[in-house]
Amino acid sequence: MENASTPTHCPYCALQCGMNVTPLPQGGVEVTERPDFPVNRGALCGKGRTAAQVLSPAARLTAPLVRSRGRLVEASWTEALDRVAGQLGRTRERHGADALGVFGGGGLTNEKAYALGKFARVVLGTSQIDYNGRFCMSSAAAAGIRSFGLDRGLPFPLEDIPKTGCVVLVGSNLAETMPPALRFFSELRSNGGTLIVVDPRRTRTAEQADLHLAPRPGTDLALALGLLHVVVAEGRTDEAYVRERTTGWAEARAAAMAHWPEYVERITGVPVPQLRAAVGMFCEPEAAMVLTARGPEQQSKGTDTVGAWINLCLATGRAGRPLSGYGCLTGQGNGQGGREHGQKSDQLPGYRKLDDPDARRHVAGVWGVAPDSLPGPGRSAYELLDALGTDIRALLLMGSNPVVSAPRAAHVEERLRSLDFLAVADVVLSETAELADVVLPVTQWAEETGTTTSLEGRVLLRRRAVVPPPGVRSDLHVLGELAARLGVEKGFPDDPEEVFGELRRASAGGPADYSGITYRRLTEENGVFWPCPDHPAGTTGAAGTAGAGESGTGAAGTAGVHPGTPRLFLDRFATTDGRARFAAVNHRATAEEPDAEYPLVLTTGRVVSQYQSGAQTRRVAELNAAAPGPFVELHPRLAARIGAADGDPVAVVSRRGRAVAPARVTTAIRPDTVFMPFHWPGEGRANTLTNPALDPTSRMPEFKSCAVRVELAEPKGRTGASAEVARSRGPQ
């Protein structure tokens, strides 16, 4: 197996692009195109093309590390695992099970995410588990469940996008975050469709749009309400659809009518003629879509903001119909699957709710434990991190780097340092791993087999293509060894297919039903869309598919098994009555509005050559050459006011801290807004600045908007009163 080319998938974003991985006779690994996979059709971005470089032993961890006299030194696996299990056990004895925390990652395979959730609840008995996917699309998930009764990133395949009439892309810079996906939007325009991009910056994606709306960060909710107001005022609602397939329209309509266009223009900065043009472009074709990403979601009102965009789809009959609908562009590689199977603090496998007695009975039966033994819901991701060193005394962390990626990052770093004990399992020595008492080197994408779930809800098999370095073990092995040391000797196998078999049983009958999916099917097919119960479509079985809509076609369907569900909601929504719910929402301010001291708005995001916290991509020379470090994007008027030229070091200051990076002066951003990418640690760490204010429903932090000032960075050696430099006073 290790000497031949292996078809597999990229380790990075939720496109999960197909690729071939081939070990080379002279050493190293080659990544090549795989045209048969329909999502990327052979195209790979720079991150995907260079992914194999992180497999090199020179770029990653190859032996366990333990802290001795303040330093991390190499140790045996026995010593490292004994130390982790011993510390977790002693902490539980002294302080109780909830003094133990578990923090996972959206890059873990479904098998590892499932095992981690089971380990937390069965072995440790703690309720304190969450994962960094909470920072990804939790607001869209909450809004989707509220409106449709089900959360799946896209309720249709990407291949439907070029066939629709108009797409409104809200808060996504696909050209840099998911470059292979941009072709679907280019094909949309080639087919005569239109693209509307909503973004405060004129990004590379916005440059491809037929219409670019540039609202002030944090005002997407008002923008969506204003568009719905125009829809109603111009008589463009689909009254028959609203009557037959929805509830709650009267309240949502009243809320929208309170947001007339001129009022919305004052809030957002988007001119009234552009609002009217957008409505015309969206409503004129027979089919249209709204797709959201982190822009509207990473807000303290993200759930309501996404709900307002869903309202626009429902009022115009654009959901649950062919080539129409609302979807969310999930970011992390397995952000979708990672929350479906137990990493989130309030969920059990199959996207079941942890506080549902029936769900607890089902999953406890699969796990062989009493339902009452399972802990209840715990803290969300930021709240868990904020409790470190106080209520939570020891933490097991897998596949995440919150020192760089969490909001109010300096505070989170301080909380991590305050722990009695920190164990990290990771591929590389990340900034978070550097703080650990024990670091466990684990296998990565091409060295292990496992499933992931893409932004389409397509379950995929990533195949092992190469042998890991000596001294490296899988996360499943780690969890099994720790479980045995903590008194649970069965139930944690290190064979991923065996784990997936149990996951199938645990998910059966749940909203995210994988029970009809097998490794054999995934080997033979280009993925299977959930829900996919273990019975043929159109029959009644233990696993229901309420709201599934079209089940799709394929050879699997003719063989007497369920073919999967590429398109949701075509027959009914996944609510109890089959109807979608409008959300009666109103605009409200961000948690932190600009003022005299902090007159500007900071928004954050990504660049094409780095990924998330950069823990892996910053180890690839080609990617670092293209994106060597952080920067501050600011408008020429703002730059002139503080006396900054392109490339000058500038400081961005919020109520939580200060970050310094070179200025990038451009007219592609609003004069009242600055932008920083968040991939780097150190003095340019953007998340030093961001606001951890949480959405009340999704518990998503407000990454996308906080009040800041910008000033020339203090020259080295300058102190005291002489260090005072020109401060921005907002747009004039």
User: Residue 125: what residue type?
Assistant: G
Helix H or strand E encompassing 439? strand 438-441
pLDDT at 535: 86
pTM of the full structure: 0.94
Look at the chain and count its residues.
Answer: 732
Please tell me the distance from the alpha carbon of residue 308 to that of residue 255, in angstroms, as a whole number: 10
| Contact between 164 and 323 (Cβ < 8 Å) | yes
pLDDT computed for residue 559 by the predictor: 55
CA angle (343, 344, 346) in 5-degree steps: 130
Q: Which range, of 311-315, 452-456, 549-553, averages the lowest pLDDT?
A: 549-553
- H helix or E strand, kind and range, residue 327: strand 325-328
Residues 368 and 10: their CA atoms lie apart, in Å, by 35
- β-pairing, 706-712 vs 649-654, is antiparallel
In this structure, of 77-86, 114-123, 336-345, 542-551, the range with the lowest mean pLDDT score is 542-551
Contacts of 307 (CB under 8 A, 6+ apart): 143, 146, 147, 583, 585
pLDDT at 426 over 90: yes
The Cα 399–Cα 446 span in angstroms is: 15
Residue 197 in this model has a pLDDT that exceeds 90: yes
* Pick from 16-30, 235-249, 425-439: least confident: 16-30
Q: CA dihedral in degrees (584, 586, 592, 597; nearest 10)? A: 180
Quote the Cα angle for 165-206-625, to 5°: 130
Task: Give the rounded percent of residues in the chain with a pLDDT score beyond 70.
Answer: 94
Long-range contacts of 492-499 (CB under 8 A, 24+ apart): 492/115, 492/118, 492/119, 492/123, 496/109, 496/111, 496/448, 496/449, 496/450, 496/451, 497/449, 499/111, 499/114, 499/115
pLDDT grade, residue 716 (50/70/90)? very low
The pLDDT of 196-210, averaged and rounded, is 97
Q: What's the rounded Cα separation, in Å, for the pair 710 and 721? A: 18
Span 103-120, pLDDT tens digits: 999 999 999 999 999 999
Query: What are the tens digits of pLDDT across the range 680-701?
Result: 999 999 999 999 999 999 999 9
Task: Identify whether the C-beta of residue 394 lies closer than 8 Å to the C-beta of residue 88.
Answer: yes
The two tokens of residue 493 are 């196998």
Provide the pLDDT for residue 715: 55
- Measure the CA–CA gap between 322 and 695, rounded to whole angstroms: 32
Q: Is the pLDDT of residue 314 over 80?
A: yes
Please give the span between the terminal C-alpha atoms of the chain, in angstroms, as a whole number. 64
Residue appearing with tokens 């919305």: 264
How many separate helices (H) and strands (E) can be counted in the chain?
24, 30
Choose the weakest-confidence range: 237-251, 334-348, 713-727: 713-727
pLDDT for position 3: 62
**Beta 129-131 vs 100-104: how paired, if at all?**
parallel
CA distance 661 to 681: 11
How far, rounded to the nearest angstrom, does the alpha carbon of residue 26 sit from its chain's CA centroid? 37
Please report how the helices 357-367 and 496-507 are oriented relative to each other, as an axis angle in degrees rounded to 10: 150
Quick one: which of 450, 454, 463 has its CA closest to 564? 454
**pLDDT reading at 542 higher than 80:** no
- Rounded CA gap, 499 and 496, in Å? 5
Amino acid symbol at 139: S
Residue 1: what pLDDT?
Answer: 43
pLDDT in tens, 578-626: 999 999 999 999 999 999 999 999 999 999 999 999 999 999 999 999 9
**Amino acid at position 14, single letter:** A
Name which of 166, 140, 167, 134 is nearest 153 in CA terms: 140
pLDDT for 720 equals 35
Both structure tokens of 445:
């994408």
Write the DSSP symbol of residue 714: P
Q: Which amino acid is at 661?
A: A
Question: Which pLDDT score is estimated for 331?
Answer: 81
Give the mean pLDDT of the chain. 93
Determine the 3-state secondary structure of 377 from DSSP: coil
Burial (0-12, 13-18, 19+ Cβ within 10 Å), 26:
exposed
DSSP string, 449-483: -EEEE-TTSEEEEEPP-SPPPTT-B-HHHHHHHHH
**218, pLDDT greater than 60:** yes
**Is pLDDT above 80 for 393?**
yes
pLDDT digits (tens, 9 = 90+) for 127-178: 999 999 999 889 999 999 999 999 999 999 999 999 999 999 999 999 999 9
Sequence-distant (≥ 6) Cβ neighbours of residue 169 within 8 angstroms: 185, 195, 196, 197, 198, 205, 209, 291, 293
CA distance 208 to 554: 35
Give Dmax over CA atoms of the chain in angstroms.
Answer: 78
Ordered structural domains, the chain, with CATH: 6-59 (2.20.25), 65-135+334-524 (3.40.50.740), 138-328 (3.40.228.10), 600-723 (2.40.40.20)
Mean pLDDT within 660-676: 97
